[in-house]
Amino acid sequence: MKKLVFGSFAIVALVAACVPSVNPFYTDKDVITDSRLAGRWAEDKDKDKGQPVTWTFSAATNSAYAVALVDDNGKTGQFTGHLFKLGDGLFLDLTPTECNYATNQADIVGNAMIPGHLLLRVGLEENKLNLAFCDPDWMKKFLEKNPSAIAHRTVDDCVILTAETRALQKFVLKHLGKDELFSDSGEYRRQATPAGAR
């Protein structure tokens, strides 16, 4: 099994909205592309309630999307995204392309960090995108009661999945019900389509 080493500050970043996995949630044959995903999407929210979260998906290259996130505090993140089908559902596997931690840390610390795979459930229409994140609170409570349900580690009170891809997929499909693995989805509206999108 791969050695898993995480610093506590890396954990905070990775599990803020999702449950990270050491292994991908997809296999090559599961991956698809959909031209409707390319573009800039903004959170559908009241303008008086602060800055909307935005996601920008560049047209897929080699079956992967370049993904840029700006959160409601103006903080940014860059990811590689793989859109894939599992059963009848559509999902997105994200891995960070930049993992910048403490600016004064030794290089060897950064070398021990593993960019985890993050899973989102996707609803995609021409001008509407729904994204649902994994619920870390549900996962933690579920695994406390069912510790052998899926291979995992708990580090600094946060769950990190260590199962192989097939086991991850089986677990996901088993827990798609209401109030299970995925939180309520956020709704985003198309803002722009980048050059190169069809």
pLDDT at 108 over 80: no
**Is the model more confident about 152 or about 74?**
152
Has residue 84 been placed in a domain? yes
**In the prediction, which pLDDT does 77 show?**
87
Residues with Cβ within 8 Å of residue 4, at least 6 apart in sequence: 22, 114, 153, 155, 160, 162
Percent of the chain with pLDDT over 90: 60
List the beta bridge partners of residue 57: 39, 67
Has residue 43 been placed in a domain? yes
Q: Which residues of 127-161 are buried (b: 16+ CB within 10 A; e: fewer)?
A: eebbbbbbbbebbbebbeeeeeebbbeebeebbbb
3-state class (DSSP) for residue 60: coil
Query: 164-178, pLDDT tens digit by residue?
Result: 999 999 999 999 999
Has residue 115 been placed in a domain? yes
Percent of the chain with pLDDT over 70: 76
Has residue 2 been placed in a domain? no
Has residue 7 been placed in a domain? no
- Most confident range (mean pLDDT) of 3-12, 100-109, 129-138 is 129-138
Has residue 3 been placed in a domain? no
Instruction: Kindly indicate the confidence band of residue 106, based on its pLDDT and cuts at 50, 70 and 90.
Output: low
Give the E-state strand segments of the chain in sequence order.
39-43, 54-57, 65-70, 76-86, 89-96, 118-124, 128-133, 152-155, 158-161, 186-192
Instruction: Kindly indicate the confidence band of residue 119, based on its pLDDT and cuts at 50, 70 and 90.
Output: very high
Instruction: Kindly indicate the confidence band of residue 198, based on its pLDDT and cuts at 50, 70 and 90.
Output: very low
What's the mean pLDDT when you consider all of the chain?
83
Q: Smallest Cα–Cα separation from 48: which of 28, 66, 72, 71?
A: 72
In contact, 20 and 136? CB cutoff 8 Å: no
3-state class (DSSP) for residue 140: helix
Which residue has tokens 């406390």?
Answer: 144
Query: 4-59, pLDDT tens digit by residue?
Result: 333 333 333 334 446 899 999 999 999 999 999 999 999 977 655 678 899 999 98
pLDDT at 80 over 60: yes
Number of domains in the chain: 1
Has residue 83 been placed in a domain? yes
**In the prediction, which pLDDT does 109 show?**
55
**In the prediction, which pLDDT does 74 show?**
85
Which residue range is the domain that position 104 belongs to? 13-192
